[in-house]
Amino acid sequence: MNVLLLKLAAAALLLVVGGGCASPPPTPAPPPAPVAVDPEQPAREAEARGDYGAAAQAWQALAASRPSPGREAYQLRAAAAWLAAGDTTSSQALLGQIDVAPLGDGLITQKQLLLARLALGRGDPVAAAAALAPTLELHPPADLAAERDALVQRLPPGSFPTSGPALTGGDFLAVLLPYGGSLDSAAQAITTGIIAARLHDGSGPELRFYASGNDVVTSYRQALADGAAAVIGPLQKAEVATLAKAPLPRPTLALNNPEPAVGQVNLYRLSLDPADEAAAGAQWLAAAGYRDVAMLYVDDAWGRRLRDLYSAALGGQGGRLSGAVPFDAGDTDFAAALRGLFGARLAATVPAAPDAPGVSSAAAPTLPGPQALIVIASATDARQIVPQLAYVGLFDLPVLTTSQVWSGSPEPADADLQSVVFCDSPWALNRQTLSGDGGFLTAARQAWPQLDREPPRLVALGADAYAVGRELRLGHTVDALPEGLTGALGLDADGTLHRRVLACARFSGGVPVPLMPGGSP
């Protein structure tokens, strides 16, 4: 074997041996253990450094990604942070979006405590008492109960008819409303009216407040078990219908009237029924001599219902609805509809226009066709319709609309409603009864001007509900309440308290000016 072959064999042997002795590849290091991330950390850190605005935004971001009840719990944390940041507007707005009624006493109490703090911050102890009232019958955790008791102590003497939240015994007036739910703001406004009326009634009954919750019958029975002598509520139509199917051992004043009307022993009903408003409007038209009337109405469930109510009310006064044209909310051009309804009148119109739209001229001849127009619309749509009357030549046409156009306080845009007439609760119009008295709420307004910030119709409903409930608790029959703030009330045979007489007003310079009963345009 030559030397070259020996060298090649040796090299091959070295390769084999070397390959056999090679080190194994290094084992990869295990991945680092995942670090637990606290999703609440950014919000907590922002609160720790005093940046409550950032904390509120972080809590709201967490709420957006959580199911109930975590969503509502984080929303309440956000509302508290906005309050701590001094942004009461954001706090109040967020609280209005939170429905905690189905979620237990703790979350309901948290929401009500925040509402009470907001009210105290703006100097409104009546609203604070209204916010705290529902919590008196709840059983929140100890820390929330202590916070509630501390807030109660900050209220003026007499804010609650009892000395503290621990209530036992009976013979009181129960209030059963949807606290903490989607109608919480309405419940709070009604409660404000109830409490304001009670605070200025020295011999009035003890009040206790219950959330109607998901089971209104259970909540009602709890109030009776606690010793309620009478009950104000519930508020929602479905709740009233449900309660009417159960025995009612105590006088009960429901604040709505289902359709069809329900009857039950001990069941009374008081509400802001639009049928009462339709009747008042039809009475005003008849008193003014307008029997043939046309209508523009928004084409939705509310508009169609009011169309039917006004048509029936006109018939009851010997009048008729000779034409009714629907429109879509947000429409801006009503010229064609107006010309269609009043074509005969426009064809016969004398060229010279009277001095003011909606005010008949003494010298104007009788014109053919409808004598007046009813407008069933929101305030925004009504402000589009009324100026177009003059555009098409209907200068002297009387116009009746609904209370939806009036917020309870003057707005610059109301100038577009010049000469338009509507009927409403007297308190909503000018903060008094039909006779000119302020009723239960006069002293309350003087003590707490902030009362005027609440929705006036609901505050008036609460005050009237208290006046009726107080009598029902004593076993008295309330056949009438002539000085009601929602109107002059009268009792029907089926237990419904109708607003027999409402106040009517005409816009002048953007402000509704009350008309004398039976006043003509």
CATH 3.40.50.2300 fits 275-424+504-514, yes or no: yes
How much is the pTM?
0.72
CB within 8 Å of 181: residues ≥ 6 apart: 99, 100, 101, 102, 187, 211, 212, 213
Min mean pLDDT across 79-93, 103-117, 163-177 is at: 163-177
Q: What is the pLDDT of residues 375-434, one digit of tens each?
A: 999 999 999 999 999 999 998 899 999 999 998 888 999 999 999 999 999 989 888 788
Given a cut of 60, whether residue 362 has pLDDT beyond it is no
Mean pLDDT, residues 1-15 = 39
The 8-class DSSP code of residue 160 comes to: S
471: number of Cβ within 10 Å? 16
pLDDT at 34: 59
pLDDT at 218: 92
Given a cut of 50, whether residue 470 has pLDDT beyond it is yes
Min mean pLDDT across 29-43, 180-194, 354-368 is at: 354-368
Place of tokens 């409403």: 424
Q: What is the DSSP string of 8-36?
A: HHHHHHHHHHHHHTPPPPPPPPPPPPPPP
Given a cut of 70, whether residue 10 has pLDDT beyond it is no
Mean pLDDT, residues 101-130 = 84
pLDDT at 488: 92
Q: How far apart are CA 331 and CA 341, in angstroms?
A: 17
Given a cut of 70, whether residue 370 has pLDDT beyond it is yes
pLDDT at 166: 39
Q: Where are the domains of the chain?
A: 275-424+504-514
pLDDT at 464: 94
Mean pLDDT, residues 301-313 = 96
Largest CA distance in the chain: 145
Angle between helices 301-316 and 274-287 (to 10 degrees): 40
pLDDT at 31: 65
pLDDT at 4: 39
Coil, helix or strand at residue 262: coil
Going by pLDDT thresholds of 50, 70 and 90, the confidence category of residue 447 is low
> 337-358 burial, b for 16+ CB within 10 Å, e for fewer?
bbeebbeebbeebeeeeeeebb
Mean model confidence pLDDT for the chain: 83
Mean pLDDT, residues 73-87 = 90
Q: What is the pLDDT of residues 242-276, one digit of tens each?
A: 998 888 999 999 999 887 677 778 899 999 999 99
Q: What are phi and psi of 253, to 5 degrees?
A: -105, 95
Going by pLDDT thresholds of 50, 70 and 90, the confidence category of residue 105 is confident
Given a cut of 80, whether residue 371 has pLDDT beyond it is yes
Going by pLDDT thresholds of 50, 70 and 90, the confidence category of residue 36 is low
Q: Which range has the top average pLDDT, 301-315, 337-351, 354-368, 470-484?
A: 301-315
